[in-house]
Amino acid sequence: MSQQEQDNQATAATPKVFWEERGPNTPRFFLTRAWIYSKEMFPVLVYLPYVIALYGCTNLIVQMLSGDEIVIDTMAIVGMISAFFMMLLMRTFDDLKDFEIDKDLFPHRATPKKLVLKADITAISLFSFLVLLNVNVFCGQSTMGVFAIMISYCLLTYKWFFAEKYHRQHIFFTMLDHQPIPYVINFFLIHTALATGSHYEAFGFNHLILWLIVSLPVTAWEVSRKVRSADMETHYETFSMVIGLKLATIIPMIFMAVTGLMCAYIGNELHFSMWFFVVDALVIGAILFYYLRFLIYPTKENNVLTNVALFTTTGLFFNLMIHTIYSYVSHS
């Protein structure tokens, strides 16, 4: 056998994911490719402060609602780490599930340019899963039951509930069984907050309200990013294409407005100052203004719903966080 034939056999025997996907511009080292992926799809310097603020606020509110002394213990750390790596895991799940489709829809991204390989995303996904598993098995035994439900559900969504073809052909069915993902994750995170401290608090009505506050905006954002004016529609399937622009705009608007009202309820329960309610009302006003403007004038220029959902959610959460911390400090 000639050397050329041996080389061809060796190439054929090498897994495609590590050989054939490489291109002339593919960085040599995994960490370089992982950093490129992070900058494009999951900027750590953006998501890490967001997770700290969101989970820190949630944990503080849960403890303040119970009336116990505020503590930061092992379960609080488990919740913080789990929140970050669950976000990263679900990001990689989405990218792996739609890897081939996204190459056609988003040719400007790093993966079609072979700056990032599918194997890299798989490795990041596996690393996130192992971190979650180890942290919760060894440090979060009190919430292992809820964790098992959450991680099992997320894995099922990754596998399309073993019915990928049907899901891809029925967007509404996909929405129904995939949209609960943030609700399942946040339910677990609230339970890590309930388990923080000397005893495991029971899940009550106020915790239900808090659970919806941190979950509804995710659905609103998911719907908003798939709402387009008629001049922006392409072959990419959107909610505005399937259910109509008006309904697709009204759904996230209602979810965001209800979130603002529930924030006011929690603020009243925790006796926040008047300024909390002023800021909350201003954010709700901004939500209604931008969504109604697009509803009345559905143009490309007015299609800023994705950013509106993101920034108003951030405003609601930071308003909660700042006043929660201020209330705790002023009463401690």
What CATH number did the domain enclosing 16 receive? 1.10.357
Do 265 and 329 lie in one domain? The reply is yes
Tell me what pLDDT residue 161 has.
86
Which residues span the domain enclosing 292? Answer: 204-332
Rounded to whole angstroms, the Cα distance separating 51 from 229 reads: 32
Whether residues 34 and 65 share a domain: the answer is: yes
Residue 208 located in a structural domain: yes
Q: Which has the closest alpha carbon to 51: 8, 87, 1?
A: 87
Q: In this predicted structure, what is the pLDDT of residue 236?
A: 64
Q: What is the pLDDT of residue 10?
A: 41
Is the same domain home to 148 and 208?
no
In a domain, 310, yes or no: yes
pLDDT, residue 206, reads 94
| Three-state SS at 39 | helix
* Closest C-alpha to 300, from 219, 233, 220: 233
Both structure tokens of 92: 């990689």
- Pair (196, 210) in one structural domain: no
> Is the Cα torsion angle 138, 139, 141, 144 positive or negative in sign?
negative
Residues in CB range of 321: below 8 A, 6 or more apart:
53, 54, 56, 57, 60
CA-closest candidate to residue 171, choices 246, 226, 104, 99: 226
What is the reported pLDDT for 16? Answer: 46
For residue 2, is it within any domain? no
Kindly list the averaged pLDDT for each block of 10 residues, start to end, along the chain of length 332: 46 43 83 94 86 85 82 92 95 90 83 91 96 96 96 94 83 79 95 90 93 92 82 69 84 96 95 95 96 92 89 89 84 67
Task: Specify whether the CB–CB gap between 239 and 223 falls below 8 A.
Answer: yes
| CA–CA separation, 302 and 290 (whole Å) | 8
In a domain, 327, yes or no: yes
Position 239 scores a pLDDT of 72
Residues 24 and 86 in one domain: yes
Q: What is the pLDDT of residue 15?
A: 43
Looking from the CA of 150 toward its CB, the CA atoms found within 13 Å total 26
How many CA atoms are closer than 13 Å to the CA of 159, on its beta-carbon side?
Answer: 7
